[in-house]
């Protein structure tokens, strides 16, 4: 057996899998490094910190970029199918975690792209006890998927409402009250409909305040729509653990996961071949 190949194999297990102690330890260490590199980027954006420690932080950032580059190299090296990894979702994210660090040498603003490393944090679900979380995320996902069309209908309605109300307010309030253009009016309508209410632009005319009241009550009420959609779908998805099989006699379509007989008519769900 080729000892080099053997070493590569062991590296692969450690880096790509989480079943072994070494694998889990590696993943945990990696998460800590990612987190640390994010903290550095965030700290560097604070003015007082930047003025005093700009150089130190830059060195540390380069250090992290180096570490991630080495890690990326190792992943390419030990992966049995390097190209497949390189073009997988995780492979691209791993690459994206390095590039801005190199770009930052030339364009200082590029460093903020480093925040993209946050996507790597998705691996956190691999370190936590994996499966139950992913199963729950699956529930949420399948609920979202099931409600996709309803949500499109909802979002199209919201966009229409917001455009109409934004234009109305632009015509009624006019530039002298901060509604300087229709896009500004639409921005205000979004701020108001979503009940955020910054207060940077507010209606001043009585008619404008009446329309605003309408927008607010609309926004306050229709939040029920996405909530209702999602709740109904989630309840569906959670009930979906059931056995989906039409009873041959009474057509009852969902049963207990390990049912042998229909609980409504008592007939066998699967007739034995006799």
Listed residue (35, 41, 148) closest to 50, CA to CA: 41
Nearer to a second copy, 20 or 138 (CB): 138
Q: Tokens 């190949």 sit at which residue?
A: 5
Nearer to a second copy, 83 or 196 (CB): 196
CB-based contact 44:50 (threshold 8 Å)? yes
Provide, rounded to whole angstroms, the least separation between the CB of residue 145 and a second copy.
13
Nearer to a second copy, 11 or 216 (CB): 216
Provide, rounded to whole angstroms, the least separation between the CB of residue 125 and a second copy.
8
Nearer to a second copy, 56 or 152 (CB): 152
For 133, 143, 146, the CA distances from 140, given in Å and listed in that order, are: 11, 5, 10
Provide, rounded to whole angstroms, the least separation between the CB of residue 93 and a second copy.
13
Provide, rounded to whole angstroms, the least separation between the CB of residue 75 and a second copy.
23
Provide, rounded to whole angstroms, the least separation between the CB of residue 207 and a second copy.
11
Nearer to a second copy, 20 or 213 (CB): 213
Give the torsion sign (CA, 97, 121, 132, 27): positive
Provide, rounded to whole angstroms, the least separation between the CB of residue 140 and a second copy.
6
Nearer to a second copy, 3 or 132 (CB): 132
Provide, rounded to whole angstroms, the least separation between the CB of residue 253 and a second copy.
9
Region label for 267, one of left (φ > 0), alpha (ψ between -120 and 50) or beta (otherwise)? beta
Nearer to a second copy, 81 or 239 (CB): 239
């Amino acid at each position: 057996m080729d000892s080099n190949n053997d070493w590569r194999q062991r590296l692969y297990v450690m880096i790509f899998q989480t079943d072994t102690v070494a694998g889990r330890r590696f993943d945990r260490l990696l998460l800590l490094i990612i987190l640390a590199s994010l903290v550095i980027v965030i700290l560097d954006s604070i003015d007082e910190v930047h003025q005093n420690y700009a150089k130190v932080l830059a060195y540390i950032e380069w250090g992290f970029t180096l570490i991630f580059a080495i890690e990326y190299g190792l992943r390419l090296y030990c992966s049995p199918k390097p190209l497949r990894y390189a073009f997988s979702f995780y492979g691209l994210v791993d690459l994206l975690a390095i590039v801005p660090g190199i770009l930052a040498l030339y364009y200082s603003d590029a460093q903020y792209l480093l925040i993209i490393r946050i996507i790597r944090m998705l691996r956190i679900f691999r370190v936590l006890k994996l499966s139950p979380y992913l199963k729950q995320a699956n529930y949420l996902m399948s609920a979202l998927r099931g409600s996709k069309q309803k949500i499109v209908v909802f979002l199209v309605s919201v966009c229409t409402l917001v455009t109409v109300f934004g234009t109305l307010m632009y015509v009624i309030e006019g530039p002298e009250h901060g509604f300087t253009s229709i896009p500004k009016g639409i921005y205000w309508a979004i701020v108001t409909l979503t009940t955020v209410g910054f207060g940077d632009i507010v209606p001043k005319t009585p008619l404008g305040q009446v329309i605003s009241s309408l927008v607010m009550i609309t926004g306050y009420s229709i939040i029920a729509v996405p909530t209702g959609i999602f709740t109904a779908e989630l309840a569906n998805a959670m009930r979906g653990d059931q056995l989906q099989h039409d009873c041959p006699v009474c057509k009852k379509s969902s049963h207990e996961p390990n049912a042998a007989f229909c609980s409504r008519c008592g007939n066998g769900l699967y007739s034995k071949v006799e």
